[in-house]
C-alpha cells in the first residue's frame, strides 16, 4: 500500500519540533514509515496528524532500542488537484471535519452598501480665505467703478486684479459655485463663528472621490458631549495636502446657540450610499499583500481558492469587482487553516510521491 505524499511531507514538518538537536531520519518504503527519534510526544503528534490529515494510522509500534514504525493507509478522500491560484490548490473536507475546525460560510450576493467615513475635523479659523474673499470683492468693486472709463490701461488693470483674486480663491479650493454663496454670506464666519460656523473635514485621498457637494455629514465636538450637528458638504478642495495626503472638505453648520469656537477639534461622519453592489463578507477575504483570496465551497465540500478583485469596503463587506459570482458560498471562518491546507496541497502536488529516504536535520 502506497503512503500518500501528503503524509510524507506532513511528517517532515511535524517531526521537526520533536527532533530538536538530534538527527531524525524518515524512510518511506512499501507503505511503511520508519522514524528514528526518541521524543515522547511523537506518538501524539502523529495521531493528531492522522486525525486531521488525509492518512490514517492503522498500526503503531516501537521496537525496543529501534525506530518507531507505523503502518499507514490512505483515507478515501480525494487528493489535491491544481487550482487557478498560484501556490494554492483545491481540496476536499467532509462535513464532520468542517464542523471540527469551525468552518462557517456566507453567500455572495448583491446588497445595498453605505460607506461610512469617520474622520477628524476642526471648526474653521481661516484668515487666508477671509483675506482672499475680501480682496476679490474689492477687485470686483474696482472693476465696476471704472466701467465707464475710456482709459484702456485702467480696464486691463481691473481685469488683472479680478483674475489674480480668483486664482487665489481657486488655490484655496473655492470654485464658482462656492464663490457665489460666499459672496452673499458674511465672510467673518471664517474667522469668528456666529449663528453659522464653517467646519473643515480632512478626508483621505482614496476616499475623497466618494464625497461630493450635498453629501450628508454629522459633526461631534468633544467639548460639547452629547451634542451633534447636522450639515451638508459645501465643497471639496481640488488639491491634496502633500504632508497628510488628505483632501479638505468644507461644510457650513448652523449653530444658533453660537457654542462652537474657532480651531476646536471635532469628528465628522459622512455617509455615502454606494448603491446595490455584489458583496462578500470582510471575514471571507484573505489578503496576502500581493493578492486577495476567498475560498468557494462547492456542494460536495470542495474548497476552491479564488483570487478576487475588490472595490470599496462598507458595513463589514467588500464590493466584488471580479473573481466570484452571486450565489457562491464562501468560507468566513477558519480561513487561516483552510489557506494553510490549500498551500500545503499545492506544494505536495508539485513535490509528487517518492520512495526515497528523506532526511531532516
Cβ atoms of 209 and 278 within 8 Å: the answer is no
Cβ atoms of 321 and 277 within 8 Å: the answer is no
Residue 232 has pLDDT above 80, yes or no: yes
Of the CATH numbers 1.10.3720.10, 2.70.70.10, 3.40.50.20, 2.40.420.20, which one belongs to the domain with range 91-113+275-342?
2.40.420.20
* 12-17 contacts, C-beta under 8 A, 24 or more apart: 12/358, 12/360, 14/45, 14/46, 14/49, 15/42, 15/45, 15/360, 16/360, 17/45
Q: Give CA separation, 112 vs 165, 192, 272, 274, 323, in Å.
A: 44, 41, 11, 7, 20
- Give tens-digit pLDDT for 296-310: 999 899 999 999 999
pLDDT at 99: 94
pLDDT at 25: 45
Residue 11 has pLDDT above 80, yes or no: no
- Give tens-digit pLDDT for 173-213: 888 888 888 888 888 889 988 899 999 999 999 999 999 99
Q: Using alpha carbons only, give the angle 187, 189, 195 rounded to the nearest 5 degrees.
A: 130
Band the pLDDT of 352: cuts 50, 70, 90. low
Mean pLDDT of the region 50-71: 47
Amino acid at each position: 500500500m502506497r503512503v500518500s505524499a501528503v503524509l510524507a511531507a506532513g511528517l517532515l514538518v511535524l517531526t521537526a519540533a520533536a527532533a530538536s538537536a538530534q538527527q531524525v531520519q524518515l524512510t518511506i518504503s512499501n507503505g511503511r514509515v520508519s522514524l528514528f527519534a526518541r521524543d515522547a510526544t511523537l506518538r501524539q503528534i502523529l495521531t493528531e496528524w492522522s486525525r486531521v490529515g488525509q492518512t490514517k494510522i492503522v498500526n503503531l509500534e516501537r521496537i525496543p532500542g529501534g525506530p518507531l514504525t507505523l503502518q499507514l493507509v490512505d483515507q478515501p478522500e480525494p487528493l489535491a488537484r491544481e487550482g487557478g491560484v498560484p501556490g494554492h490548490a483545491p481540496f476536499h473536507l467532509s462535513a464532520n471535519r468542517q464542523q471540527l475546525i469551525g468552518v462557517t460560510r456566507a453567500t455572495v450576493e448583491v446588497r445595498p452598501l453605505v460607506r461610512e467615513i469617520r474622520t477628524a475635523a476642526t471648526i474653521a479659523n481661516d484668515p487666508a480665505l477671509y483675506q482672499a474673499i475680501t480682496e476679490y470683492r474689492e477687485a470686483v468693486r474696482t472693476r465696476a467703478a471704472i466701467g465707464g472709463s475710456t482709459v484702456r490701461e485702467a480696464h486691463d488693470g481691473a481685469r488683472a486684479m479680478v483674475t489674480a483674486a480668483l486664482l487665489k480663491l481657486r488655490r484655496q479650493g473655492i470654485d464658482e459655485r462656492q464663490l457665489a454663496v460666499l459672496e452673499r454670506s458674511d465672510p467673518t464666519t471664517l474667522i469668528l463663528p456666529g449663528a453659522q460656523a464653517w467646519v473643515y473635514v480632512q478626508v483621505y485621498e482614496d476616499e475623497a472621490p466618494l464625497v461630493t457637494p450635498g453629501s450628508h455629514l454629522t459633526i461631534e465636538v468633544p467639548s460639547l458631549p452629547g451634542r451633534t450637528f447636522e450639515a451638508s458638504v459645501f465643497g471639496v478642495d481640488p488639491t491634496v495636502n502633500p504632508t497628510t495626503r488628505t483632501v479638505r472638505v468644507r461644510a457650513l453648520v448652523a449653530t444658533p446657540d453660537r457654542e462652537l469656537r474657532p480651531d476646536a477639534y471635532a469628528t465628522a461622519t459622512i455617509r455615502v450610499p454606494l448603491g446595490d453592489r455584489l458583496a462578500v463578507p470582510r471575514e471571507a477575504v484573505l489578503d496576502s499583500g500581493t493578492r486577495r483570496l476567498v475560498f468557494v465551497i462547492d456542494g460536495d465540500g470542495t474548497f476552491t481558492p479564488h483570487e478576487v478583485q475588490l472595490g470599496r469596503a462598507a458595513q463589514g463587506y467588500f464590493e466584488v469587482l471580479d473573481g466570484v459570482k452571486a450565489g457562491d458560498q464562501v468560507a468566513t471562518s477558519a480561513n487561516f487553516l483552510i489557506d494553510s491546507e490549500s498551500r500545503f496541497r499545492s506544494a505536495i502536488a508539485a513535490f509528487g510521491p517518492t520512495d526515497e529516504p528523506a532526511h531532516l536535520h
